[in-house]
Every structure is written in structure tokens, then in C-alpha cells.
Amino acid sequence: MKKILLVGNGAREHVIAEALKKSPQDVSLIAYGKAKNPGIAKLADRYEIGPLDEFSALKKLALEEKPDFAIVGPDDPIADGCVDALLEVEVRSMAPLATVARLESSKSFTRDLLEKYEIPGNPKFKVFTSNEGMAEFIEELGGEYVIKADGLMGGKGVKVSGEHIDNVEEGIEWAGKCIEKFGRVIFEEKFVGEEFSLMCFCDGKTIIPMPAIQDHKRAHNGDTGPNTGGMGTYSDANHLLPFIKPEDVAKAIEITQKTAKALFDETGCEFKGIMYGGFIATTKGLGLIEFNARFGDPEAMNVLPILKSDFVTLCEHVIDGTLHLYDARFEHKATVCKYVVPEGYPENPVKGEKIEVGEIPEGVKMYYASVDERDDGIYMSGSRALAFVGIADTISEAEKIAASALSSVSGQVFYRDDIGTDALIQKRIDHMKELRG
């Protein structure tokens, strides 16, 4: 019997719980989160609710339960030292220590690391601690730029000229606010191309890539509206994407591998967990948008349901630093994930509203996200609420499966119905063709 402590209560953690319980090993699941996720609650032997911005209650639970290992899902607790806190009570985690989780929590740390170790993928960039020189650098970049806060802001820390920023003054004003909050801000050259996510298991030395995925950050159909944590994702049966080349993924793997080594050389600490790169295929080659230090959400829902290898064994190899002795195999299936979110999300979401889910068509997987199960039903907490996943031989079929469940949800919600559709994918293919000539 393996006892595993799972930290976090979103859809990402729901699918992690499912993958753990699917193991041929006998798993006892201890769940800890800020609210009661009904999906995780069904799978867990014990479910404790507590804070995630300080770790005393979590440490107490770990001391009481003495799990074999922990998995920490969300970015904030990882950046704030949740893995370090668990290690103080002798629980090792499938997630990185804070010093190497800076890969996600400090964008300047990662840009400097890539530059120092001559790893490809960086755009032109400059870190500022005051407004001095910003206007000149914007000019040097030809007026097209990206501003990144040097800390976690729940998906709201990146602003792109022409998309979120109308003029230089507005950009510099926002950059000033980032400096007030984090002491630094980064200006970068704007990449033009098509994005994809590539997540890798990493034990500090060895990495094992998962299928490539496309995420959709904008809130509304046609990639319009404000940025969100991700409204939906898809992956293809060949583990590539229709608009990227095998060389793009090979380059992404090379960048991830070199970064894992550089992280160790720089900090003396091995990164154990998921290294998740946001990449972009451009005419100038492959660009690295950012690294995250955890499973993506929704991306975890594309890969874990088609993982054929034992997830528990994989986690153990990551933690023990013996990933070279194992392999991660995925089914050759396409997947589409669609999120249902509260009206007004992400800027002004309704909160505390009830949602009801009717009968789900056969073959659809459903994962609970930012909801709270109470005695009289399920209530939304203001962020993404429910996810539906379709799995099939083609993206087109998987899309139809996921979409067939959307109308079963009643409540004040909306969703994007274009994610994974043939029309949207064709747009990506045409865009890449046009760029590559």
C-alpha cells in the first residue's frame, strides 16, 4: 500500500488523483486543499481543508499521516516553499523546492539562466528596477514588446503591446506597478508564431517529454477577450500538433534538458517534478515564452488520462532521481479539454453561485475545478469550474465528444465552443504556413 498526499483542489489535482488511483499499486490518497473538490473527495481516503498560503496545518497532517510522498499541484504554494515545508517533516514531493521553482516564479531568473548557460530560446530582453531606459528599449524593440511581472500574478502578469497595452505611457505605467510589487520587471521582444505547451517529467538529470498540447488563454471564441488560466486545450494522436514540426518539439526537449542541467549547476539543487515549457514556433526558430514548475491546467487533463505507464512508479522515479530506469508511455489518442467557467470570468466572475450537472454523455470525462461541495450542492468559487475531456482517434472526434457534455451544465456559466474545432485548427495551420512561406 502506498500512501500519497495530494495538495491542491482544482481540476489539475482531480486528474492527478485519478491517475494515482488508476495505479496497479494499492493507493491510499490523503487530500489537502482550500475547498472540497467533489471529484477528489470521492477518490480520497481522507480530505482536509486548510490554507495554502502557510503550511503549518499541512505539516501537521503530513506528520500524522506519514505519506510515502506528496504531490503539490498549484504554482503559488510551490513558489512559497510548500515542498521545502514538507521536507522539514521528512516528506519528499513530486514537485520542486522553492529555489528551483524560481524557474516559474521569477521570469528574470529564467531569462538570465538561459543567457548565462547559452541555452537557445530567449528573446531580446532587459530587466528593469526603475523606469529609466524603458522608452529607449521599447524603441530598440521596434515598438513591439511584452512586459512581464517578475512574480506570480495568477495569469495576469504578462501584457503585450497592441493587445493589452495601447501606448508606451500605458506600458511604462504598468511596468512601474510591477516594480512596486516585485522590485523588478522584464521587457521582452514580442514573438510571432504559434504556441504550444511541452511538459516533461524531470528528476533533476533525466527528462521524459509528454505529448505537445495547445492551450487557449483568451476568454472568448476566436481568441478574443482577456487572458485566463486557460479555457481549453487539445493534443493530437501522434503527440505533435497539426501546425508544428517534429523539429520544433525536438528543440523544445533540448531546451528543457539543458535548462534542467543549468538549474542544477546554478543552484546545486535538482529540479524534481514537472518542467512545463510554453514554447512558440516562429520564423526565427523556437522561442521559449516561459517555464512553469508544475503540471499545466488544463494540460494535465490532456496527458494523464492517456498515460499508459504507472503514474505512481513514475513519481517515485522522479523523486528518487532514477527516471533513466523508467519510461512514460502515452496512448496514441487525440484529446480535447473544454472548461466551463462562471459568467464574468476572469475579470468579474460571479462567485458563490450554484451549478448543476445533468447526465454526462457516455465517453466524456468530467473534472471538477474551482468549486466547493456543500450539503445542498456544488457552488462556484469564481475561477474555472468544470472541465470536460473527449478522447478519440482524431482531434475532431475528441472535440465533438467534449462538446456533447457542455449543455448538461446549468448555472451562470459560459465556455468557448471553438476550442479543438476543425476551423480553429485550420486557422493555426494557415497562420504557420503563411509565416513559414
Residues making contact with ligand GLY (CB under 6 A) = 215, 229-230, 292, 296-297, 299
Q: Which C-beta is closer to ligand GLY: that of 84 or that of 290?
A: 290
**Residues listed for the chain:** 437
- Supply the minimum distance, in Å, between the C-beta of residue 217 and ligand GLY: 7
Q: How far is CA 368 from CA 228, 335, 365, 423, in A?
A: 17, 18, 10, 28
Q: Which C-beta is closer to ligand GLY: that of 230 or that of 390?
A: 230
Query: Which residues are CB-contacts of 427 (< 8 A; sequence separation ≥ 6)?
Result: none
- Supply the minimum distance, in Å, between the C-beta of residue 15 and ligand GLY: 13
Q: Which C-beta is closer to ligand GLY: that of 92 or that of 384?
A: 384
Contact 263, 113 (CB under 8 A): yes
Q: Could you give the 3-state DSSP secondary structure of residue 428?
A: helix
Separation CA 109–CA 209 (nearest Å) = 23
- Supply the minimum distance, in Å, between the C-beta of residue 383 and ligand GLY: 12
Q: Which amino acid is located at 91 in the chain?
A: V
Give residue number: closest CB to ligand GLY.
230
- Supply the minimum distance, in Å, between the C-beta of residue 167 and ligand GLY: 28
Strands (E), 168-299: 185-189, 193-202, 207-209, 214-215, 218-220, 224-227, 232-235, 273-282, 285-292
Q: What's the DSSP call for residue 331?
A: -
- Supply the minimum distance, in Å, between the C-beta of residue 230 and ligand GLY: 3
Q: Which C-beta is closer to ligand GLY: that of 276 or that of 330?
A: 276
Q: Which C-beta is closer to ligand GLY: that of 171 or that of 229?
A: 229
- Supply the minimum distance, in Å, between the C-beta of residue 376 and ligand GLY: 31
- Residue 188, beta-bridge partner list: 125, 146
Rg, C-alpha atoms of the chain: 21
Separation CA 117–CA 189 (nearest Å) = 20
Q: Could you give the 3-state DSSP secondary structure of residue 118?
A: coil
- Supply the minimum distance, in Å, between the C-beta of residue 121 and ligand GLY: 18
Q: Which C-beta is closer to ligand GLY: that of 204 or that of 229?
A: 229
Q: Which C-beta is closer to ligand GLY: that of 206 or that of 292?
A: 292
- Supply the minimum distance, in Å, between the C-beta of residue 298 and ligand GLY: 6
What are 329's three cell numbers?
508511455
What's phi and psi for 384, nearest 5 deg? Answer: -55, 135
Q: Which C-beta is closer to ligand GLY: that of 189 or that of 297?
A: 297
What's phi and psi for 24, nearest 5 deg? Answer: -65, -15
What are 63's three cell numbers?
506528520
Measured from the Cβ of residue 5, the count of other Cβ atoms closer than 10 Å reads 25
